[in-house]
Structure 1
Amino acid sequence: MANSKQARKRARQSEGRRVLKASQRSMVRTYIKRVLKAIEGGDHAEAMTTFQKAQPIIDRMADKDVLSKRKAARLKSRLNKRIKALAA
């Protein structure tokens, strides 16, 4: 347990951040699952629209350090690659 006043405050702040980031991470995963479901459905148009909705969310979470920028780029690249494979 934190002993000093500032350590208690830091513990409160970090707990608040942890809860918020967990929620945001969950939201990103939901958007990714929607894209994957559309890809598995085989519908290129649906996959493309869900990917276009997910893309700014992924970018925003990378800016907020919920995801690393590299992981966000990797996710978008892999999803886009799978969508392009549908069209071919």
Structure 2
Amino acid sequence: MANSAQAKKRARQNERRAAVNKARRSRIRTFLRMVEEAIESGDKEAAQNALRVAQPELMRGVTRGVFHKNTAARKMSRLSARVKALG
């Protein structure tokens, strides 16, 4: 357990940051799930729109440090390939 005042403060900060990051990650997953559902429904137009909305969310997660840049790029690449394959 944290003994010094500084360590106690860092523990509090880490707790808050973890909650914020968890919310961000959850929000991004929701947007990705919307793309997945649009792909499964077979509606290319809806899938393209969902992907267009999800991309900035995912990249914002990279900027905020929630996801690694390559992870986001891989997810976007795979999703866009699946959307493109619809038709």
Q: What TM-score, normalized to structure 2? A: 0.98
Aligned residue in 2 for 1:44: 44
Q: What SS is found at the alignment partner of 1:30?
A: helix
User: Matched residues in 2 for 1:70 and 1:8: separation?
Assistant: 34
Question: Alpha-carbon deviation of 1:60?
Answer: 0.4
User: Matched residues in 2 for 1:12 and 1:84: separation?
Assistant: 45
- The letter of the residue matching 2:82 is R
Question: Alpha-carbon deviation of 1:15?
Answer: 0.5
Pairing 1:74–2:71 present: no
For each residue in 1:31-81, what CA deviation from the matched residue of structure 2 results, as whole angstroms up to 9, or x when unmatched? 000000000000000000000000000000011110111100000000000
Q: After the TM superposition, which segments of 4 or more aligned residues of structure 1 sit over 2 Å from their partners?
A: none
Question: Alpha-carbon deviation of 1:8?
Answer: 0.2
Aligned residue in 1 for 2:12: 12
User: Matched residues in 1 for 2:20 and 2:63: separation?
Assistant: 15
**Two-structure CA RMSD over aligned residues (Å):** 0.5
Aligned residue in 1 for 2:86: 86
User: Matched residues in 1 for 2:71 and 2:63: separation?
Assistant: 12
The percentage of counterpart residues that share the same residue type is 46
List alignment gaps of at least 5 residues for structure 1. Answer: none
List alignment gaps of at least 5 residues for structure 2. Answer: none
